[in-house]
Each structure stands twice: as C-alpha cells, then as structure tokens.
Chain A
C-alpha cells in the first residue's frame, strides 16, 4: 500500500537546510510511490516552497505566523498538528537536528505514535521499510520497524542522499492559517557562537583538535584549514575540559556524533569515547606525534608528526591544489 508522507522542512536564516532535502528522499522511500507533502513553518517561508518541490516533494503546505519566527515547541507543535489534522498522513519525517530532536517527541506523543530517531539508512520501501540507526554512539547499529500506527522517523543529517535537484518539477504551494496561542517559552536572545556558519553535524569536512592543540590559540591553524575546505572545527573532550574551546565543539560519546566525508584528527589520542563520535566518518586522517596513539587504528591515513608543523603545510598544499 502506498503511504502519504509529511516532511517538515527546516530553514536557517532564510535558506533551507540540506537535511530537508535528505528528509524528502527518505519520505519518497517510505511512501512506496505515495504522495510526499512538505510542511514549512516560519514567519516568511512561502518563497521556499518551490525548492522543496524541486527536490522531490509533490506538494507544499506552509504556515506563516509571527510566533513561528523563532522555534518554540509550543508554537511549532500547534502549527504542525493543525496541518496533520488536515492531511492525515501515514508517515512523518523530520531532520534529526536541534529543532527535530526537540519537536519530534512532542509530536509523537500527541500522535500516540512510535518514533524512530536518528535514522542513517532505510532498507526496503513502503510498508516493508526498515530503519537503521546507530546505538551506543555508533559502536553498534540496530534495525527497527514500526509495529503499529504512524511511521515517524527523524533522519540524521549527511547520511541519506538527497534526490537530484530538478527545477522542471512543479507542484502546489498552499498556505494554512493557524491560531497560535499560549506559548510557554519566550526566547529572549540567541547568542551565535558558531561563527563560520558550518554546522558540525552537517559539515562534509571536520578538522578536530585534542589535547595536542595545547591552547585556545592552538585551534587557529585548524580553523584556517577548516575554512579553506568549507568545513567545521571540532574537538575532543580533552580539549574542551582543558578550556581550549567551547563544549559545543565536542565530538564523542558525550558530545556530538558526526559522519563527515573527511575527518582530520589533529593531536587527538583516540579514546574509545571520542571514537564513538566520529568512527563512522567516511575518511579519517590522523595527525599525532605519538605513533602508538589509538587514533591511528581507525585512521585511513596517518601522519606521525607535530600538528603545528603538519596542519599549516596541509593548508598550503590544499591552497596550491585549489589554485591549479
């Protein structure tokens, strides 16, 4: 049986996040040939509707309201549930982002449904879809299916391939008006710490530093390399505990779990807790003075040497490559 699937798109600073397109691709599989309807919530999102269609959505429903400018679980759940009541979907897909993680359990509770979070792959399609997700921070994987009720999943950014962008696709972009009341949370201020704007969980390249970075300033050459490659800077717990950087950069069992195409570990010894956060990266490069460091066991390529010598040389080499 085909399924009607709803996808929640997510925009940041007026631009749709990639995970929205990855969620559409996941929804297509779950639909087994059924309809994929994208929902966009915000104060001004109507203009983004066509982009969701170009990436494979059949139709878009928007809810615009001043209270939806910044995310709150109350505001977004009221808007989302109003659309769900109209659409009566068989399945729902969110991105496993800060917003998706916060909102999905509340929506699942209201739908009295199961929820399979942090899905990295889907086997089969339609009614036969089985969802793969990491457990124990990636030390193992589980295959899960929904036994009963609505199929609800969140997909981890960077794992499910989006469909090809096709600007010849067209579809209906309609808007629904929803009364949003009784917000119990007021966002007074948003302090932006992630300056360069590449989110760690969505980055294709991560340059991460450990205790070997030795100081806050020691992260500078790593930042330079990450910027050049359009990536983000991460850190081990050791570097965060030593106050070289903010905990928001921490990768590991406590901290973020990342799966970039390229992970460059500089001055990171490779404790099992750190490996749990990055070992599923596509390619791992280790740079460490200690040839016995555990990180070399999971690395695809290793250089035994001082990161303060190797990283700037690497930056220069990439610059040369790019100018050719």
Chain B
C-alpha cells in the first residue's frame, strides 16, 4: 500500500507565545511534530505493518523541518519529502499549501493519505480536505478508528462527541483525532536507522506549478496577544460561606447566572 502522511512542524505545546511587531517570535522556541500528525504517522505505520507497502512523510517549509521528518522516520516511516518553498513564497495560506501538496501528490498514486485533523498553531483544519478535493479522492475527518480490508475501509469518526460508523473505500484521505492510537516514541535503533533513510528535498521549480498559481487568497494583517487577565479573587472563610458568596458573585457581579 502506498501511504502518505502530511506533517506540519509546530511550536511545542509548552511554549509561551511572544509577539512583536504583529508577528510571532520564533527565536529560541522548541518545535515539534504537530501532535495530531503524530497520530497520523502512528496509524500509517500500523497500516503498513498489517498490509505491507511504504510510508512517506511529506511536509512543506524550510530546512529546519528536516528535524521533524527525521523524527517521523525514527518512529518508523520509510521515506520523507520536504517541499522547500522558503525562497519562493513569502506567505502561504491554506489555499496555496493545498495547491502545492496536491501538485506533488498528483502523480504518486497514493492509496491512503493521513493527516492531523488540525494543526495546533494555525488551527484551520483545512489543508487535508482541500488536498483530497484537488486530488478528487474521498476524505473522512476526525477519525478515531481505521480498519482496511482490501479496498474497503471501515472508520469510526468523532462528531462533537458522538461517533459515526462509516464505510468507504480507497483511495482515501483521513484526518486523525485524538484517541485513534497511542503514538510511539522513536527507539534508539529507530533513530540510528532514520539517519540512513531517504529524505528528499523538492523545490517549487521541480513541481508543475507556477509562482503565480500559488498566490495566497488571505492575508494576516496583525497578530496580538489576548488581554492579560487580572488575578482573580480566592475566597476566604469556611467552605459553606465561600460557596454562598460565590453564587452571589456569579449572579450580581459577573452576571453569568
């Protein structure tokens, strides 16, 4: 089975966000594989181990994203591809990202493409379904279970807490929701092996796409931090008096009840 995983390099979840001049400051920040993409990588490895084939992890960005690709290879992916657009494109949005990824994938004949259901930085959750639409294959988002039998696929999908049991078929793109699996940590032998696995770098020139075709449709004009919350009031006295006071405060001061 020919399996691709779309991966994004994101800020570590522990990072505090620093903004200056309307931009997020990246200096000194720790980067990780987007946590939802880790579920996608783990699932891809399990599908390959059960059905045979090859797992390729694919990302877009600058050279620094090689680190996250090596981590995915150390988890057990077979190959990695970095589409390096750093020199060609100033601003990517979901439209352009999907155009580029789909253009790369269009002659690769993937049976299964996996991605995270959302990236924890931009949080748009668009790129996976957009890629599927451009490739004219079906997609199912926020999946928590995947079973493949020949070309038949059974899926459980999370829909705002409820579960949908779905039947569909390959080729298919799915996006991973938490609960799909427990992503493995790279083992030491895995890390050693990953150093020798192929990691190809592709530039926009290598694709069948013009810079004019990838002009962003949206533009971020400012980034800012939410107003700082003032420290609240920790109530005092015996517990029952505190509870009475709290209900009063919620009614009369906060006016939320």
Q: Are A144 and B221 in contact (CB under 8 A)?
A: yes
Q: Are B164 and A109 in contact (CB under 8 A)?
A: no
* Segment at the A interface, from B43-51, B66-74, B116-124: B116-124
A279 at the interface (CB under 8 A from B): yes
With both chains docked as a complex, state the minimum distance between the C-beta of A114 and any C-beta of chain B, in angstroms.
Answer: 3
Q: Are A199 and B161 in contact (CB under 8 A)?
A: yes
A269 at the interface (CB under 8 A from B): no
Interface of A is mostly: mixed
A157-186 with Cβ < 8 A to chain B: 184-186
> In the assembled complex, which residues on chain A have CB atoms less than 8 Å from the CB atom of B140?
185
With both chains docked as a complex, state the minimum distance between the C-beta of A283 and any C-beta of chain B, in angstroms.
Answer: 5
Q: Are A136 and B121 in contact (CB under 8 A)?
A: yes
Complex alpha-carbon distance, A49 and B220, angstroms: 36
> In the assembled complex, which residues on chain A have CB atoms less than 8 Å from the CB atom of B14?
272-273
A139-163 with Cβ < 8 A to chain B: 139-149
Q: Are B221 and A143 in contact (CB under 8 A)?
A: yes
Complex alpha-carbon distance, A285 and B243, angstroms: 11
> In the assembled complex, which residues on chain A have CB atoms less than 8 Å from the CB atom of B142?
98, 102
Interface of B is mostly: mixed
Given known A113-B95, A291-B234, A309-B239, contact A106–B130 (CB-CB < 8 A): yes
Number of A residues contacting the other chain (C-beta, 8 Å)? 92
Q: Are A285 and B133 in contact (CB under 8 A)?
A: no
Q: How large is the interface on B (under 10, 10 to 19, 20 to 34, 35 or more residues)?
A: 35 or more
Count chain B CB atoms within 10 A of each CB in A200, A205, A301 and give the residue with the most.
A301
Q: Are B163 and A283 in contact (CB under 8 A)?
A: no
Select from chain B the residue with minimum beta-carbon distance to A109.
Answer: B133
Q: Are B163 and A105 in contact (CB under 8 A)?
A: no
> In the assembled complex, which residues on chain A have CB atoms less than 8 Å from the CB atom of B168?
184-186
Select from chain B the residue with minimum beta-carbon distance to A263.
Answer: B256
Given known A113-B95, A303-B246, contact A199–B160 (CB-CB < 8 A): yes
For A233-276 the 0/1 string (1 means CB < 8 A from B) is 00000000000001111100111010001100000000011001
Q: Are A247 and B243 in contact (CB under 8 A)?
A: no
B241-257 with Cβ < 8 A to chain A: 242-244, 246-247, 249-251, 254, 256-257
A62 at the interface (CB under 8 A from B): no
> In the assembled complex, which residues on chain A have CB atoms less than 8 Å from the CB atom of B144?
247
With both chains docked as a complex, state the minimum distance between the C-beta of A272 and any C-beta of chain B, in angstroms.
Answer: 6
B84 at the interface (CB under 8 A from A): no
Select from chain A the residue with minimum beta-carbon distance to B117.
Answer: A101
B187 at the interface (CB under 8 A from A): no
Complex alpha-carbon distance, A171 and B225, angstroms: 42
Q: Are B17 and A118 in contact (CB under 8 A)?
A: no
> In the assembled complex, which residues on chain B have CB atoms less than 8 Å from the CB atom of A201?
160
* Segment at the A interface, from B54-62, B103-111, B188-196, B210-218: B210-218
Q: Are A118 and B120 in contact (CB under 8 A)?
A: no
Complex alpha-carbon distance, A116 and B219, angstroms: 10
Q: Are B226 and A250 in contact (CB under 8 A)?
A: no
A305 at the interface (CB under 8 A from B): yes
For B11-29 the 0/1 string (1 means CB < 8 A from A) is 1011011010000100000
Count chain B CB atoms within 10 A of each CB in A105, A186, A200 and give the residue with the most.
A105
Q: Are B216 and A318 in contact (CB under 8 A)?
A: no
A115 at the interface (CB under 8 A from B): yes
B186 at the interface (CB under 8 A from A): no
Complex alpha-carbon distance, A168 and B179, angstroms: 48
* Segment at the B interface, from A25-33, A36-44, A208-216, A292-300: A292-300
B interface vs A, CB < 8 Å? Answer: 11, 13-14, 16-17, 19, 24, 35-36, 93-95, 98, 120-130, 132-134, 138-142, 144, 158-169, 178-179, 215-226, 229, 231-235, 239-240, 242-244, 246-247, 249-251, 254, 256-257
Apart from the given pairs A106-B130, A115-B124, 7 other A-B contacts in the complex at a CB distance below 8 Å: A108-B95, A141-B226, A145-B219, A194-B161, A301-B233, A314-B246, A317-B244
A interface vs B, CB < 8 Å? Answer: 73-74, 97-98, 101-102, 104-106, 108-110, 112-118, 130, 133-149, 184-194, 199-201, 205, 229, 246-250, 253-255, 257, 261-262, 272-273, 276, 279-280, 282-286, 291, 296-305, 309-310, 313-314, 317-318, 321
